[in-house]
Amino acid sequence: DDGEGATATTTITVILDETAPLVDQPANITYEIGSFGHEIMWNITEANPDFYNITRTSNEPVNNATLIESGPWDGNNITRNVDGLNVSRWYLYSLFLNDTFGRNTTNYVNVTVVPDLTDPTITSPEDLSFEFGEDGYEILWHAYDSNPKNYTIIAVILFNDTSYGQVSELHTFIDIEELDWTFVDPDGGDLVTVVDGLFLGNYTITLTLFDDFDRMTNDSVNVTIYRDERAPIIISSGDLSYEEGYTGYSINWTIEENNPLNFNLTLDGDVYENGTWDGEEYVLGVDRFAVGVYLYNMTYTDFFNQSAFSLIQVEVTADAHVPTVAEVSAFQTFSSVTTNNLTIHAYVWDLNNISNIEIQWGVGDPEVVDFEFETMDMEQSEIENIFTASLGEYNHGVVVWYKVVAEDNAANPLEFDSGWIAVEITGQGIDRVPAVLYAGVVILGVLSLLVILVLYTRTRTR
């Protein structure tokens, strides 16, 4: 109502900053000489920061009190790296914080550096055992030391056979001596050696680590490479069946074998293809075959004359769909004041193409026994899959019966019969738009849409 009102009041109280900066106490730090990645992180709470400084005191004989850094402070947490200090010394880091009201806080963290009295550390990977020729195997050790120096990887051959397999592609283990062992991660790094391509046999591979103070650690992994006594393992795509005329079909064989040599593919008992084989998948297109059954036999043989075979049957069934005939239409054009020319249009398509398309027509009753009709082939128009036939000139009032018969090009031809359709010849005005032009525009619009719909429907029925 007029004259009414309301008032809301919010009280904001700003209190004085009477608190010095608050610091979460970091833990003291002890680390081994040479190690890295050590930091002091001070987590700080302060609404009105001003400036800070970090000083360091120690039991160093000289320079035992040092200003490390100082400057304006924006209130963020402060982190200080403490790597690289001298061994057998202690260091006291002091953080001084001051706010804009002159209140301050000092925090202390002790850092002690101890001698490197520990051996390098190393993980112990499991022993390896794999079939001759198989690859992708490696030994991975994770190693660490505060003061890494060098390492060696050496193999002891317990047994090997340098005549087994395709020896030109094999080798003995190559010993490794790395004089400068370093890593970038404070927690150490990985040392990897690949054991692919070794001769058949049994090996002991040993990693030995040394640091700057002559301390060492080693670890050994046993590697056993056993004989290939297994025939190729074949996985096929399986038997295949498709309807005549369709495309996009293929068959394939995937093989598991460490020592591939050759293959032989036959089709119905006759050699289709053969040759050397490197273990890759074999893919074969089988589109547009004639109706029938085809038997493929793939045989794979490895380097040790072990073989396996796989059969795939491809069956191509007869076309089960009659040709598609749609939009069968009659168009009349002016000829004289008493006659019109009659033309028939139809959309005709089949996956296996059309072998014959004809039109039958006549005047009278197609249901009676003595009905006489004429026959002619329809002609392809300038528009794909659109066929036409000019039936001639007829007087107004005459009823013409016609039908379209189409046969496809399949192995077992299928026929479409539109059935008899009647059209009455009617008068045409001379001043009208020519019917042919009008009909052409209509056909282009309607049949363009129809082509899409028919193809989609035909595909969905397969």
- Residue 123 confidence class, pLDDT cut points 50, 70, 90: very high
pLDDT in tens, 31-44: 999 999 999 999 99
- What is the rounded CA–CA span in Å between residue 162 and residue 167? 7
Average pLDDT over residues 426-451: 56
pLDDT of residue 435 exceeding 60, the answer is no
SS3 437: helix
To the question of pTM greater than 0.85 for the whole model, the response is no
Over pLDDT 90: what percentage of the chain? 83
pLDDT in tens, 50-86: 999 999 999 988 878 899 999 999 999 999 999 999 9
CB-neighbour burial class of residue 210 (10 A; exposed 0-12, middle 13-18, buried 19+): buried
pLDDT in tens, 282-319: 999 999 899 999 999 999 999 999 999 999 999 999 99
Structure tokens at 280: 């890759």
**Domains of the chain, with CATH numbers?**
22-114 (2.70.50.50), 121-226 (2.60.40.10), 233-317 (2.60.40.10), 324-460 (2.60.40.380)
- Which pLDDT belongs to residue 421? 95
What are the E-state strand segments in 227-353?
A: 233-236, 240-243, 250-256, 260-267, 270-276, 282-285, 292-302, 307-317, 324-334, 339-349
- Residue 461 confidence class, pLDDT cut points 50, 70, 90: very low
> Is the CA virtual torsion 103, 108, 109, 115 positive or negative?
positive
- What is the rounded CA–CA span in Å between residue 165 and residue 199? 8
